[in-house]
Structure 1
Amino acid sequence: MTVNDDSFTNWMHREEIAESMIPLIGKLHRERDVTVLLHSRSLVNKSVVSILKTHRFARQIAGAELSVTETMPFLRALTTLDLGPSQIDLGMLAATYKADDRGLSVAEFTAEAVAGATGANKIERREPRDVVLYGFGRIGRLVARLLIEKAGSGNGLRLRAIVVRGGGAQDIVKRASLLRRDSIHGQFQGTITVDEDSSTIVANGNAIKVIYADDPSHVDYTEYGIRDAILIDNTGKWRDREGLSKHLRPGIEKVVLTAPGKGDVPNIVHGVNHDTVKPDEQILSCASCTTNAIVPPLKAMDDEYGVLRGHVETVHSFTNDQNLLDNYHKSERRGRSAPLNMVITETGAASAVAKALPDLKARITGSSIRVPVPDVSIAILNLQLAREATRAEVHDYLREVSLTSPLKRQIDFTTAPDAVSSDFIGSRHASIVDAGALKVEGDNAILYLWYDNEFGYSCQVVRVVQHVSGVEYPTYPATAV
């Protein structure tokens, strides 16, 4: 048999294993509210090829490809356990099992590693929490996709309604079409139908009421059967407590803003300060996409090396706020054609760091350049450290952070030498460390951080909503602190 024959036979064998993983992953998700991950990447509703590619990607961060032949025994072991709602990382199970020298079987090790989610220890499945989207733009539609995707077993978060201004004939049909197809993020994964008579979009079985209103004060959500909901304002029209309080109408319990909050509105970056949200806090912000991209790696670097000062330069994709062609804009430079120019503009991300990381004493400055790409940006974080380090040391540290730290859902890591911005469209991490571009000399470190400023940020928003809703389930094996 030739090498080619061996490779093809091996591929078909792995395909067969991946095919057999899909019903096990789906059953765990639907019946027990268990999300199966691989190095923080969900395997729920993934295709055979997607599962294989996710395993192969592990070589970029862990140094060696992870095979489905290694992870399948752990998945089988999970199906035999009395699991409660949780997230279970097969990649971490496989890695920690390799490092364990006690001679346990896969079944014994798995039962021990996820003991916190089994038997008397497991948490109860919670009733679905209603969610309302106020606005249905770029972030709103991506958050909608994520909420529909995560509806899963029917527990967790449930998108009940979308509030928009009336847009004339066939408005709901046009909005459903924008949800169905996206020029950057591709087709919606599932089916969408529209009932114009009842003003309802049905997406993967989720009935979503479209409510038309020009002002929050015009809506009584209880009329639509909505109770104790979390409203996500993705319009950015109101950013202070007084303005956002307008959303606290009958049926709405909390308001989450998808833009930097002003005044005393808490700016929350999931993974960094989400645990500081007070249970009775009704209004909070998820900060900006750039703040979410830089704060987790900034915290990681400060924890290990100390940061004396820093500067962030963001090279940011253009946004809907800019003009397609030169035209009037209240901000002079943003009035110039977005797809034809690099545009120097301001960023509030650096000043927002203080809200998310109040213990960081370093002064962080920032500036931004908008460039002619529609999605994915890069933040160049230039830091003066409290002690000297080597490039190899920082490289290995950040790779380990992306794999095993409490920030592993926020920080990803790539060693791909030919990586470019479009490679990171659809990334669910807040930022991705580009290992090849990393520079360290003495007490100076420069980190290049890619981030999908649309989808990655939307994932962070959903994580915050899950947390304040009480449906953010623990991850096993437990992350090292």
Structure 2
Amino acid sequence: MTVNDDSFTNWKHREEIAESMIPIIGKLHRERDVTVLLHSRSLVNKSVVSILKTHRFARQIAGEELSVTETLPFLRALTTLDLGPSQIDIGMLAATYRADDRGLSVDEFTAEAVAGATGADRIERREGRDVVLYGFGRIGRLVARLLIEKAGSGNGLRLRAIVVRGGGEQDIIKRASLLRRDSIHGQFQGTITVDEANSAIIANGNEIKVIYADDPSSVDYTAYGIKDAILIDNTGKWRDREGLSKHLRPGIDKVVLTAPGKGDVPNIVHGVNHDTVKPDEQILSCASCTTNAIVPPLKAMDDEYGVLRGHVETVHSFTNDQNLLDNYHKAERRGRSAPLNMVITETGAASAVAKALPDLTAKITGSSIRVPVPDVSIAILNLQLARETSREEVLDYLRNVSLTSPLKRQIDFTSAPDAVSSDFIGSRHASIVDAGATKVEGDNAILYLWYDNEFGYSCQVIRVVQYVSGVEYPTYPAPAV
């Protein structure tokens, strides 16, 4: 047998193992609200090849691929436990078990590592929380996809309604079509049908009412059986407390804005300051995509090195706020053709840092250039540190942050030498550190941070909604602090 034959045989064997993992992962998710992760990446509803590719990601930890033969025993061990709702990272289980020298069996070690999710300590299933989308644009449709994906056993977030302005004949059919197919993010993973008679879109069995309204104050959500819902305003039309309060109608308990909030509206970046949200807070903002991209790595660098000052330059994909061809726009440059020009514009991300990181004393400035790509942006974060360091030290630190810290869902890391923007379409992280582009000299560090300004940001929005709704379940093993 040749070496190539050996490689192919090994691949087929790993395919078979990954295939055996799928029903176990699905059953844990449906029946127990357990989400199986591998180094913070969900394995729920993933294909055989996706599971194998996610295992390959572990090369960034020890320089070698994590094998499914290594993680399968931990997955099987989970099925023997009386688990409550939780997120369990079998990649971290395998990594910590490898470093453990007590001689425990896989079953014994797993039971100990996830003890908080079993027995008297486990969280009981919570009643599902209703969610309403106000607006159905780029972010609204991606948030809808994520809500439908995470419906799981039906005990988490439930997308109950979408509120839009009437668009004329076949409006609901056209909106369903935009949810079904996306030129950047591809096909919706599942089935979508339209019930025109009842003004509803049925997505993977989830009935979503389409409500037509020109003003928030005209809607009574209880008339649609919606109660204590979280409303996600993705229009950006209202950004202060007074405007957003219009959404607090019968059936709505909280309002989450997918744009930077103004005035005293809290700007929340999940992973950094989400735990500061007061239980009785009814209105909050998820800040901007760029704020979400820079704040987690900025916090990580400040925690380890101290940051004295910084500047962020974001090279941002164009958005629907710009014109396809030159035309009138209230902003000075955004009226010029988006797909034909680089457009210098402003960003509020730097000033928003103070809201998310009030303990950061460093002055952060910022600017932005819109460029002719439809998605994925890059933030260049230029920092003066409180102490000198080296490129190798910074990269090792950020790699570990991306793998084992409480910020591992926000910060990703790539060492691919040929990485370009389109590689990060669909990334679920707030930003991705590009190791090859990182520059460090003495007390100066320049980080290049890729981010999917649509999908990665939408994932951050969902994390905030999960947290304030009480359906963000704990992760085991607990991340290193």
TM-score between the two structures when normalised by the length of structure 2:
1.00
Shift of residue 456, structure 1, vs aligned partner: 0.2
Q: Do the aligned residues in 2 keep the contact of 1:389 with 1:440 (CA within 8 Å)?
A: yes
User: Distance in 1 between the 2:298 and 2:61 partners?
Assistant: 19
CA distance in 1, matches of 2:114, 2:239: 41
Structure 2 SS opposite 1:197: helix
CA drift of 1:69 comes to: 0.8
Check conservation: 1:380, 1:449, Cα contact below 8 A. yes
Q: Give a deviation string over 1:171-202, Cα, whole Å, max 9, x none.
A: 00000000000000000000000000100000
Distance 1:456 1:299 in 2: 18
Question: RMSD value over aligned CA atoms?
Answer: 0.5
**Post-superposition shift, 1:60?**
3.2
Within 2, Cα distance between the matches of 1:134 and 1:169? Answer: 20
Which stretches in structure 2 are left out of the alignment for 5+ residues?
Answer: none
Distance 2:264 2:63 in 1: 44
SS at match of 1:20: helix
How many Å separate the matches in 2 of 1:17 and 1:202? 34
Give a deviation string over 1:384-411, Cα, whole Å, max 9, x none: 0000001111010000000110000000
Which string of whole-angstrom CA distances, capped at 9 and with x for unpartnered residues, describes residues 261-307 of structure 1?
00000000000000000000000000000000000000000000000
Deviation at 1:57, TM superposition (A): 1.8
Deviations 1:30-54 (A, max 9, x none): 0000000011100000000110111
Shift of 1:480: 1.1
Equivalent-residue separation in structure 2 for 1:385 and 1:30 (angstroms) = 47
Compute the displacement of 1:59 (Å).
Answer: 1.1
8 A Cα contact 1:62 1:403, kept in partner: no
Q: Aligned-pair distance for 1:412?
A: 0.4
For residues 299-332 of structure 1, what are the alpha-carbon distances to aligned partners after superposition, in whole Å with 9 as ceiling and x for unaligned? Answer: 0000000000000000000000000001100112
How far apart, CA to CA, are the structure 2 residues paired with 1:451 and 1:133?
Answer: 24
Secondary structure, aligned partner of 2:265: coil
User: For residues 224 and 478 of structure 2, what CA distance do their matches in structure 1 show?
Assistant: 40
Counterpart residue number, 2:267: 267
User: CA deviation digits over 1:58-109, x for unaligned, max 9?
Assistant: 2135422111111111000011110000000111011100110101111110
Retained in 2: the 8 A contact 1:87–1:474? yes
Q: Secondary structure at the match of 2:198?
A: coil
Between the aligned partners of 2:43 and 2:405, the Cα distance in structure 1 is 20
Deviations 1:343-398 (A, max 9, x none): 00000000000000000000000000000000000000000000000111101000
Q: Name the residue aligned to 1:296.
A: 296
Matches within 5 A, 1:56-95: 56-95=56-95
For residue 207 of structure 1, report the CA deviation from its aligned partner. Answer: 0.2
Q: Which residue number corresponds to residue 433 of structure 1?
A: 433
Listed one character per residue, the Cα deviations across residues 104-143 of structure 1 (whole Å, up to 9, x for unaligned) are 1111100000000001110010000000000000000000
Deviations 1:426-458 (A, max 9, x none): 000000000111111000000000000000000
Is the 8 Å Cα contact of residues 148 and 204 (structure 1) preserved in structure 2?
yes
Q: Distance in 2 between matches of 1:66 and 1:325?
A: 49
- Report how many aligned residue pairs link the two structures: 481
Residues 191 and 204, structure 1, Cα contact 8 Å, conserved in 2: yes
Rounded Cα–Cα distance in structure 2 between residues aligned with 1:172 and 1:355? 38
Q: Tell me the distance in 2 between the aligned counterparts of 1:272 and 1:64.
A: 31
Report the 3-state secondary structure (helix = DSSP H, G, I; strand = E; otherwise coil) of the residue aligned with 2:392: helix
Q: Is the 8 A contact 1:61 1:413 kept in 2?
A: no
Q: What's the secondary structure of 2:322's corresponding residue?
A: coil
Query: Which runs of 4 or more aligned residues in structure 1 lie more than 3 Å from their structure 2 counterparts after TM superposition?
Result: none
Q: Distance in 2 between matches of 1:281 and 1:182?
A: 34
Tell me if the contact between 1:61 and 1:414 (Cα under 8 Å) persists in the aligned partners.
no
Q: What residue in structure 1 maps to residue 256 of structure 2?
A: 256
Distance 1:60 1:171 in 2: 47
Deviations 1:147-186 (A, max 9, x none): 0000000011000000000000000000000000000000
> Residue 135 of structure 1 contacts residue 164 of structure 1 at CA under 8 Å; is this kept in 2?
yes
Mapped partners of 2:93, 2:375: distance in 1: 34
Residues 60 and 416, structure 1, Cα contact 8 Å, conserved in 2? no
Specify every segment of 5 or more residues in structure 1 that has no aligned partner in the other structure, as ranges: none
3-state SS of paired residue (1:472) = coil
Aligned runs of 1:352-431 on 2, under 5 Å? 352-431=352-431
Q: TM-score w.r.t. structure 1 length?
A: 1.00
CA contact (8 A) 1:265 1:285 kept: yes
The separation in 2 between residues aligned to 1:407 and 1:56, in whole angstroms, is 21
For residues 221-246 of structure 1, give each alpha carbon's deviation from its aligned partner in whole angstroms, at most 9, with x where no partner exists: 00000000000000000000000000
SS at match of 2:429: coil
More off after superposition, 57-66 vs 101-110: 57-66
Whole-angstrom CA distance in 1 between matches of 2:444 and 2:264 = 34
Which residue of the partner structure matches residue 147 of structure 2? Answer: 147
Aligned identity (percent) is 93
Secondary structure in 1 matching 2:364: strand
Q: Secondary structure at the match of 2:442?
A: strand
Distance 2:90 2:341 in 1: 45
Q: Bigger CA drift: 13-22 or 60-69?
A: 60-69
Counterpart CA distance in 2 for 1:129 and 1:108 is: 35
Counterpart CA distance in 2 for 1:14 and 1:259 is 43
